[in-house]
Amino acid sequence: MSTLGFNTGYVEELYREFLENPESVSESWQEFFADFKPSESFVAAQENRTAVGAAKPDLTTAREVSEQVAESPAPESATSTQALDTSAPDAEAPTPETPTKPLRGAAAKVVENMEASLAIPTATSVRHIPVKLMAENRRLLNEYQRQIGGEKVSYTHIIAFAVVKGLLSIPNLNSTYSKQDGKPVHVLPESINLGLAIDVERRGKRTLMVPNIPDTGNLNFGQLLGAYNDIVQRARSNQLQISDFEGTTVTITNPGMIGTDLSVPRLMPRQGAIIGIGSIDYPTQYYAFPPEVMSKTGISQVMTITSTYDHRVIQGAESGAFLAHIEQLLRGEHGFYES
């Protein structure tokens, strides 16, 4: 199940709906869940829901799955973080008068995924990039899009395209680490499957999911724009399929949308890197300047971009060169805006 990373909680929520009513999910999910083996924590949570008298799915099915899990240990690549012994010791137990709240479902999966990420030795490269030229080209693109009735272009669309071009230039950033017959191996995927970290609301709760756009290295900008918008729309309307989560090689996350300047996100197993996009703004030392002064002096807005990578197979020089290439592209080099 670890192959689904951040998406595990979302998938198990769908599985719970499937147990209650198989027709509530699409045919592709029904086929996937036919022989699905949920995590032990999911089975335990289901049994706990039964014990307290909560509304529950078919327990015979859940218990049968639990027995299958017990009889069929997970392969080494999908073992729990307890086997890795990398999790931090439990915090001191709260006092009896301290309110507590059980972490179940997607929230429990976030805990497991975060602990699993601790097993990956990562490092992070950081680069500050001027965005004046990108902003001007985005304005021109959107003027053209309005004339033809096309989709609006965001900064993230342009940056995602630059990330893909950067991965084509420095392909080792798209590689990852694994084990084969108990021995370490360097995995070199044939395609770039670009994951998009998307925050969505389900049943009044925030859920992070990371579907991917497959084979992005062979898409032009217009194709990437359409694929990007399609997967975001399907994520928000609960229309994603299991294939949308499989085989992610590199992920981009954009906390800059909520004003975060710099982010060092967690890297999930089986991915080479995760790229963090910071907010676009003027340098803080110029905040007090009037806008007309900044315009006359040519001060540009800037963006901070980070590359957090698996240091077992990717070196700092490669990550640094990758970010440098992205800056060159966003500044108009290599014919980026003509492509």
Q: Among residues 115, 141, 156, which one ends one of the domains?
A: 115
Measuring CA to CA, which residue among 277, 240, 241 is closest to residue 257? 277
Q: State how far the Cα of 8 lies from the Cα of 192, in Å rounded to an integer.
A: 21
For 226, the token pair is 């359409």
Do 266 and 224 sit in the same domain of this protein?
A: yes
Do 303 and 178 sit in the same domain of this protein?
A: yes
Measuring CA to CA, which residue among 187, 263, 241 is closest to residue 7? 241
How far apart, in Å, are the Cα atoms of 237 and each of 6, 11, 134, 200, 240?
18, 15, 31, 9, 8
> 275 pairs with which residues across the strands?
252, 307
Residue 20: which domain range? Answer: 2-115
Decide if 311 is catalytic.
yes
Q: Give burial (CB, 10 Å; 0-12/13-18/19+) of 109.
A: buried
Kindly name the residue from 157, 186, 311, 325 that is annotated as catalytic.
311
Do 157 and 236 sit in the same domain of this protein?
A: yes
Do 82 and 130 sit in the same domain of this protein?
A: no
What does the pLDDT profile of the chain (339 residues) look like in tens digits? 456 666 766 677 777 777 877 777 777 777 777 777 666 555 555 555 555 555 544 544 444 444 444 444 444 444 344 444 555 556 666 677 788 888 876 677 778 878 888 889 999 999 999 999 999 999 999 999 999 999 999 999 999 999 999 999 999 999 999 999 999 999 999 999 999 999 887 777 777 889 999 999 999 999 999 999 999 999 988 888 888 999 999 999 999 988 899 989 999 889 999 999 999 998 888 888 888 888 788 788 899 999 999 999 999 999 999 999 999 999 999 999 987
Angle between helices 155-169 and 221-236 (to 10 degrees): 120
Do 145 and 243 sit in the same domain of this protein?
A: yes
How far apart, in Å, are the Cα atoms of 335 and each of 162, 260, 331, 338?
11, 30, 10, 5
Measuring CA to CA, which residue among 333, 266, 262, 331 is closest to residue 303? 262
Q: Among residues 115, 138, 163, which one ends one of the domains?
A: 115
Indicate which CATH number applies to the domain containing 159.
3.30.559.10
> 126 pairs with which residues across the strands?
306
Do 99 and 163 sit in the same domain of this protein?
A: no
Q: Looking at the 3D structure of the chain, how many domains does it have?
A: 2
Do 168 and 308 sit in the same domain of this protein?
A: yes
Do 132 and 269 sit in the same domain of this protein?
A: yes
Do 104 and 12 sit in the same domain of this protein?
A: yes
| Residue 242 phi, psi (nearest 5) | -60, -35
Q: Among residues 71, 99, 115, which one ends one of the domains?
A: 115
Do 283 and 169 sit in the same domain of this protein?
A: yes
